[in-house]
Amino acid sequence: MLARGLPQPYRGKIYSAISPALYIPTNRTFTNGRINMAAVARAKSLDHLVLTVKDIDATLKFYEQVLGMERTSFISPTDPNMHRHALKFGAQKINLHISGKEFEPKAGSVQPGSGDLCFLVEDNVDDILPKLKEKGISVLEGGQVVGRTGAQGKLRSVYVRDPDGNLIELSNMVES
């Protein structure tokens, strides 16, 4: 029973249908008469993601030359003798794991080529097409710019694959 007609401190809480005075603790909250499960934590941004790759050098070269990412390495916090590799862009990074030599903990099922990533790019995607072709990078979707929907609205996108076969979408937001 929703606490309707009760004083303000009781509104938005669940009470027993048998005895409205009996408050039932719950992790549900009420908004405009709808039940919403309370989140454990609210995500605000992405810090990093991990790609499992066959060849670190080929991956570093691709992301440096195609997306202008910065190669970086760091020492593993669990093993001072272990140097790890990553690619930085903006406030995010992509950590790289070599297939068969992944760091723990890791995803439940890791394999090269299973990623599907969309990057918003500064350059116009129409200008990117000939540059990709010059570098010998195959453009999917018939070699054309295609319309898609991203997290923040409409996109114009170009699709390619990285050396491991991950699907890489290079996109511009469409101004409304």
Other residues' Cβ atoms within 10 Å of the Cβ of residue 168? 21
Per-domain residue ranges of the chain: 8-37, 48-173
DSSP tag of 54: S
Nearest to 88 by CA among 127, 116, 142, 48: 48
Residue 3: what pLDDT?
Answer: 46
Contact yes or no for 96/83 (Cβ under 8 A)? no
The Cα–Cα gap between 162 and 88 comes to 16
pTM for the predicted model, two decimal places? 0.75
For the chain, 176 residues long, give each residue's pLDDT as a single digit of tens: 444 554 555 545 554 455 555 555 555 555 555 555 677 888 888 889 999 999 999 999 999 999 999 999 988 888 888 889 999 999 999 999 988 777 777 777 888 999 999 999 999 999 999 999 999 999 999 999 999 999 999 999 999 999 999 999 999 999 97
Catalytically active residues are: 169
User: What class does CATH assign to 48-173?
Assistant: alpha beta
